[in-house]
Amino acid sequence: MTNEIKIFSPATVANVACGFDVLGFCLDNVGDEMVIRKISKKGIYITKIEGYNLPYEAHLNVAGVSALALIEDANPDCGFEIEIYKHIKPGSGIGSSSASAAGSVFGINELLGRPYNNTQLTYFAMKGEAIASMSEHADNLAPALFGGFTLVKSIAPLEILQIPTPKELYATIIHPQIEIKTSEARAILPKNVPLKDAIGQWANVGSLIHALHTSNYSLIQRSLQDIIVEPYRSKLIPHFDDVKFAALNHGALGCSISGSGPSIFALSEGLEVAKNVEDAMKTIYSETGIEFDTFVSPINTKGIKILNS
């Protein structure tokens, strides 16, 4: 058995318009790289961090905390070094902390001979995610570990469903370089919502799941509506309405906030449309003076990938 593994841990989009707190999907072109190495000394040791300034102490680092949760359960007769090559900017809203939290447990699980399934890995990763977002949630972790579209049916007990991914779906992401704290994005939400709106939202969740099963792109379009959360959170993102209007106007099936923002995602049928949507988003933001970056990605149906081992 190999003693070292290098992985790609992808960025992810949570909520997916109608599915606040439950739906997510996995991106392919942007993600962190991590090297996990089995060592004789017990414990978790973060030995290298490149890209962003993050804590080296395992119990303070998202990837470290999830790894510690795993080895507490597995109690292996060895330890692990973790190198983190961070490409997903923390706080960007495309699952930066989830990529770290999921990547470390995925890698350790491989080096231990896969004693855990993806749901169990998600459970450990939630412990790491919790120190970043102050709450245990899995809507970014699930797509990172399972790939494709996922529905977190419940947290306790943890149950994750893999929803089929239509072949021609592409995501476009714009990340405005502003800071929105997850805790702030949560605080802005109402405690109660009109029953009428909730009914509209669960109709959309149901129809999106049906549309993904049947590769019905026009139904995906009609389902990607968020009448509950987006009206509140979009106020935290400058020019959100303009970006959304431009994306839809250039053929996107839907456009909404990625996770708690500030990133905005669009889904399109076909790579060409997704690129047109990217250009349209760029045009809006290039006039604002706010730094931003954009990318287009297919939906990653594998999740975390092994680069070599």
Active site residues: 129, 182
The residue behind tokens 């990172």 is 144
For helices 118-133 and 96-111, the axis angle rounded to 10 degrees is: 140
The C-alpha atoms of residue 153 and residue 245 are separated, in whole angstroms, by 31
Residue 307 lies near a second copy (rule: CB under 8 A): no
Q: How many residues bind to a second copy according to rule CB under 8 A? A: 38
* CB 167 to a second copy: min, Å: 17
From the list 30, 144, 152, 173, which residue makes contact with a second copy (rule: CB under 8 A)? 152
* CB 210 to a second copy: min, Å: 5
Write the single-letter amino acid at 27.
L
Instruction: Using the minimum distance from each CB to a second copy, give the nearer residue, 154 or 177.
Output: 154
Residue span 17-46 as binding mask against a second copy, x where in contact by CB under 8 A, dash where not: -xxxxxx-----------------------
From the list 81, 136, 159, 168, which residue makes contact with a second copy (rule: CB under 8 A)? 159
Contact 5, 302 (CB under 8 A): no
Contact 38, 3 (CB under 8 A): yes
From the list 62, 144, 185, 228, which residue makes contact with a second copy (rule: CB under 8 A)? 228
From the list 40, 75, 192, 308, which residue makes contact with a second copy (rule: CB under 8 A)? 192
* Token digits of residue 90: 């923390």
The C-alpha atoms of residue 186 and residue 166 are separated, in whole angstroms, by 31
From the list 26, 58, 82, 205, which residue makes contact with a second copy (rule: CB under 8 A)? 205
Instruction: Using the minimum distance from each CB to a second copy, give the nearer residue, 184 or 287.
Output: 184
Residue 201 lies near a second copy (rule: CB under 8 A): yes
* CB 22 to a second copy: min, Å: 5
Chain centroid to Cα 190, Å, comes to 23
Reduce the DSSP state of residue 167 to 3 states and report it: coil
Instruction: Using the minimum distance from each CB to a second copy, give the nearer residue, 198 or 271.
Output: 198
Instruction: Using the minimum distance from each CB to a second copy, give the nearer residue, 5 or 208.
Output: 208
* CB 138 to a second copy: min, Å: 11
Q: Which helix (H) or strand (E) holds 83?
A: strand 79-85
Strands of 254-257's sheet in order across? 254-257, 264-269, 169-176, 292-298
The C-alpha atoms of residue 6 and residue 35 are separated, in whole angstroms, by 4
Contact 151, 103 (CB under 8 A): no
Residue ranges binding a second copy (CB under 8 A): 18-23, 151-154, 159, 161, 163, 189-195, 198-210, 213, 219, 222-223, 228
